[in-house]
Amino acid sequence: MSHVRRISVHVDEPDPGHYYWVLMEEGDDASHWLELDAAEEPYEMWLDALNDGVQALVRYAPDERIGPRAPGDDEDTSPVG
């Protein structure tokens, strides 16, 4: 089975009191991260933004037992090696 996609969730505050969750995914280089998804509307509380960001991350996992996998990965395929 392939490895879990490296997706992070963080909260951004571009304006005071306006919080947005952001999902970032590691690119080809571990020092390069790409924005994957983000809240469209601001939250008034940091914790609400974080909680919804975590829920957005969970939606990237087709199966909660194995987490998000790269497109084309099949969890039913037997591992190599």
Domain ranges of the chain: 7-58
pTM of the model: 0.80
User: Is residue 74 scored above 80 in pLDDT?
Assistant: no
Strand ranges in the chain using DSSP code E only, listed in sequence order: 7-15, 18-26, 33-38
Q: For residues 3 and 47, which has the higher predicted lDDT (pLDDT)?
A: 47
Task: Decide: 18 and 41 in contact? Cβ < 8 Å.
Answer: no
